[in-house]
Every structure is written in C-alpha cells, then in structure tokens.
A and B are shown apart, each in its own frame.
Chain A
C-alpha cells in the first residue's frame, strides 16, 4: 500500500504550504488596510501548486547551497522562485488614498483559506493516524 513514506502526504503537503503562504499574504493585506497607496496582493493557488509540485518532482540537484546528504534521494531541497505567483488584487471600489484593500473581501478570503488549510490538515492527520494503526497493529 505504501510505496514510500516520503510520499505519504502527497499533494496535501504542498497545498498546506501554499495555504500558509497565502495566509501571510492576506494577513499583510489586513495589516495594511489603512496604509496609503498599498495594493492588496494574493496568490494564484493553481499556479503555485503546479509550480511547487513540479519543483518537487524535478528537484534541482545543482542549486547554490545544496543540502549535504549521503544519498541523492535524501532531503532534496526545493529551490525555486515563488514570487511570480503573487499578484495584485483588482480593486472593487477606488479610494482617495490609493489603497485597494477591501476588508470584507480579505476577511472572507482569510476565513476560506483557513478552512482549506484545516481540510488539508485533516487529510494529513488521517494518514498519520492510519500509519500509526498499521505500526501498532
């Protein structure tokens, strides 16, 4: 059943990382809701997931600071740019001070993102529990 322990969580592990990254972006939007000329940012989830997935499957072994491991398959480091996935949100209502943060939208997005994080977490949690059951017998 288990082909490899490193692939135990599959895509959910990557999705979790992107959700965490997105949480910081939206938290930053909410922190800057009163900052003049601040532009709200968000992540293209699909593109980010595809990028991180690709990076995982074709790991660059010749990166600048590779981890020292005894075998090529151990702890391959992920080194790629994620900045290109971050984009500016289109503002729904213009404001005098040039700020494009809509608190309601950001709060809704943050709540949705948190729920998706929890959903991923419960899948991962289920797999951990399954594995523990298998080990304990």
Chain B
C-alpha cells in the first residue's frame, strides 16, 4: 500500500505544474493588449517548461531505491516570436518614429493551452481521488 502514497506525490506535482501553466496563460491573456514604446519594455508571452522529475529518491515496496517520479517545472521561458509593431503616432506610448509595440501573445494558442491545462488538472485530481479510495478500502480491511 505504501507505494500508493507515491501517487499523491506524483499527482500533486502535476497539479502544481498545471496550475502554474494556467497562471502563465492567465498572465499572457491579461497582457495581450499591453502596448509599450520599445521592444524591451513590451510584454512577451511566457510559457512553462515541463520535465519528468527523477530527483526524488525513495524506497519502493520491492525494497530497492527508486526515483519517485512526477513532473517538475524547469522554468518559465519568454517567447522570442517577433513583436507586432503598429504605426500610431498619436498613441501616448508611441516612440519617436511613431510606432507602438504589441505583445507576441497568440490568443488561439493561449486558449488551447488553457483548456489543455485544466483538463490535465482534472485528470490528476481524479487519479488522487482513486488512490484515496483504494487506500481507504485497504485501511478498512476485514470490516
């Protein structure tokens, strides 16, 4: 039964990773229209980088050391897609040449990311729920 405890660690790591992904999506969508006067100051779309986690070592039921798996977020990268430039000389943020810079947030991609993240989150909640039921049944053995 003790290896069922690992399920909580694994699904927990996924919940945390997916909620972070949802956070970056929310941030990207919120800043989709934040214009700026220079390329450096413009908001750039942010995406988390996921990797399979292998650094947590524990003992499994078979008695040997195993890597307690899961998912971890390596970091958040900014998109290097080109920014959108608009010629709006009357805009208060416009630079000397009369251009404003718009973020490189792709709304379609962000919506797809949002749906994918929330579905993945739900799946992992279901996994946790099942593991919880199994453990409760095991604890009530013989009753």
User: Residues of A at under 8 Å CB distance from B?
Assistant: 16-17, 20-21, 23-24, 26-28, 30-36, 38, 52, 77-83, 103, 107, 110-111, 114, 117-118, 121, 124-125, 128-129, 132
Is B76 engaged at the interface, CB distance under 8 Å to the other chain? Answer: no
Residue in B21, B51, B63, B137 whose Cβ sees the most chain A Cβ within 10 Å = B63
Other 11 A-B pairs with CB < 8 A, given A20-B1, A79-B64, A121-B137: A17-B61, A20-B3, A24-B3, A24-B4, A31-B70, A32-B50, A80-B64, A107-B123, A118-B134, A118-B137, A124-B141
Identify the stretch in B5-13, B77-85, B86-94, B102-110 within 8 Å (CB) of chain A at 4 or more residues.
Answer: B5-13
Task: Report yes or no: B138 in contact with A31, Cβ–Cβ below 8 A.
Answer: no
Within the complex, the shortest CB–CB distance from B136 to chain A, in Å, comes to 11
Complex CA gap A20/B131 in Å reads 9
B-chain residues with CB within 8 Å of residue A27 when the two chains form the complex: 6-7, 10-11, 124, 127, 131
Given contacts A23-B131, A27-B131, A129-B142, A32 and B71 within 8 Å (CB-CB): yes
Is B45 engaged at the interface, CB distance under 8 Å to the other chain? Answer: no
Within the complex, the shortest CB–CB distance from B105 to chain A, in Å, comes to 19
**Top 9 nearest A-B pairs by Cβ distance?**
A128-B142, A31-B14, A28-B69, A82-B62, A35-B50, A27-B7, A24-B6, A20-B3, A27-B10
Within the complex, the shortest CB–CB distance from B78 to chain A, in Å, comes to 18
Complex CA gap A30/B124 in Å reads 7
Within the complex, the shortest CB–CB distance from A115 to chain B, in Å, comes to 10
Within the complex, the shortest CB–CB distance from B17 to chain A, in Å, comes to 8
Task: Report yes or no: A81 in contact with B14, Cβ–Cβ below 8 A.
Answer: no
Interface of B is mostly: helix
Task: Report yes or no: B70 in contact with A111, Cβ–Cβ below 8 A.
Answer: no
Contact of A34 among B2, B50, B63 (CB under 8 A): B50
A-chain residues with CB within 8 Å of residue B6 when the two chains form the complex: 24, 27
Is B130 engaged at the interface, CB distance under 8 Å to the other chain? Answer: yes
Task: Report yes or no: A28 in contact with B134, Cβ–Cβ below 8 A.
Answer: no
Could you give, for residues 12-38 of chain B, a 1 whenever the CB lies within 8 Å of some chain A CB and a 0 otherwise? 011001100100000000000000000
